[in-house]
Amino acid sequence: MDIQGNILMERYELGRLLGQGTFAKVYYARNLTTGQSVAIKVIDKEKVLRVGLINQIKREISVMKRVRHPNILQLYEVMATKTKIYFALEYAKGGELFDKVANGKLKEQVARKYFQQLINAVDFCHSRGVYHRDLKPENLLLDENENLKVSDFGLSALAESKHQDGLLHTTCGTPAYVAPEVITRRGYDGDKADVWSCGVILYVLLAGYLPFHDSNLVEMYRKIGRSEFRFPNWFQPEVRKLLSRILDPNPVNRITIPKIKENSWFKKEKVSKEPSSEKASGSCSTYPADNQDSTKPPNMNAFDIISLSRGFDLTTLFEEHGKKTEARFTIWRRASVVITKLEEIGKSLGMKVSKREAGLLKLDAAKEGKKGMLSINAEIFELTPSLHLVEVKKSNGDTLEYQKVLNEGLRPALQDITWTSQADEQEQQEEIKQQDQCS
């Protein structure tokens, strides 16, 4: 029995119902070991299987494993029985940002703070090859310190979902917040579509109502396609100019996130790079402040290390055997040595190496492959000052091309500094064998 009385899995004490939908209920709960407040999302397996949503649930879990950031709602762990799936999530005490806007427009400096945090979170998702695709105030929660938390990744897409044209083709999202190119169904860039949604959200925060609204859905889509809207008279010239660049119906001309971050209005009264928050139990990463060593990677705690062990690995839920798009290496060297080694390997493979932030390197192929440009993320986590975990993931391109780089380039080059168990060696040999069979 998974729930006895109001105790779930002998780990969480369930409390009041926070909300419910067609397939899930969300309860307030308390971790019996740490006393930490969490939200438990209870999903009915039979219902989601009946309507074919199980892949969406799997994708949501997979995505939330990738995106650990102070402005993204954290997934602590996933538990399952024959009939139910349980998500243990960060508890956002402040509720939905939508509830604040429902009472009217926000002050400019308050709206700007939330917008800054939203852009930081979305930028982080994109750096991990994740596109949200359903950004709206209802999916933006607030913690007890009024810091924003992006939630609900059920409609998100991964960079590897792109078609050969390098675009996404699934039409999804909430009509009032969806980008014009998504409506046309000719393919779209996930990052540019997310930027549009962020612009609609900023407008709503400052105005108290939607820029595109009509009782006739076709007419509303026409307005969106032409970016036909008006600014309220209280909008300042700077924010009007910024919104005009975000809500540009031509995605080619639409402002990018790096340019948004350089905008003078955006930078006014700017919050710190990442909002201060206590590191919750079960959290994966800490992000360094501006004055800390930029080469110092994020830490992993005991929960994260255990969750990566073979018995707890959820990868098999999301990927076919022999087609894995991620690998892990345990390295007995300091972070600076690991970073230098990865840079050397990338250059020897003819790939462009760039640092995105502390502990994250991107390796991009010099020329286009079967499914666009191959791009690989190499993220370093500190276990101890002299022991690090390197997680390598394909963020774009063809899986077989990625596996060739991994097994013929990265693995051999890291062999002299990698600690490998017998089980890991067997798994590596199996992966290489599977790759040979697929080639």
Of residues 422, 307, 233, the one with CA closest to residue 65: 307
Residue with structure tokens 């008006």?
Answer: 230
Of residues 8, 14, 134, 137, the one with CA closest to residue 63: 134
- Cβ-based neighbour number of residue 403 at 10 Å: 23
Q: Which residues are catalytic?
A: 134
Of residues 205, 206, 208, 255, the one with CA closest to residue 227: 255
Q: Is 371 annotated as a binding residue?
A: no
Taking the C-alpha atoms of residue 203 and residue 9, their distance in angstroms, rounded to an integer, is 44
Taking the C-alpha atoms of residue 356 and residue 121, their distance in angstroms, rounded to an integer, is 14
Per DSSP, the three-state class of 172 is coil
Taking the C-alpha atoms of residue 65 and residue 75, their distance in angstroms, rounded to an integer, is 7
Environment class of residue 299 by beta-carbon count within 10 Å: exposed (0-12), middle (13-18) or buried (19+)?
middle
Taking the C-alpha atoms of residue 400 and residue 293, their distance in angstroms, rounded to an integer, is 36
Of residues 329, 322, 334, 326, the one with CA closest to residue 413: 329
Environment class of residue 393 by beta-carbon count within 10 Å: exposed (0-12), middle (13-18) or buried (19+)?
buried
Phi-psi region of 297 (alpha: psi -120 to 50; beta: other; left: phi over 0): beta
Q: Annotated binding site for ATP: which residue ranges?
A: 41
Q: Annotated binding site: which residue ranges?
A: 41
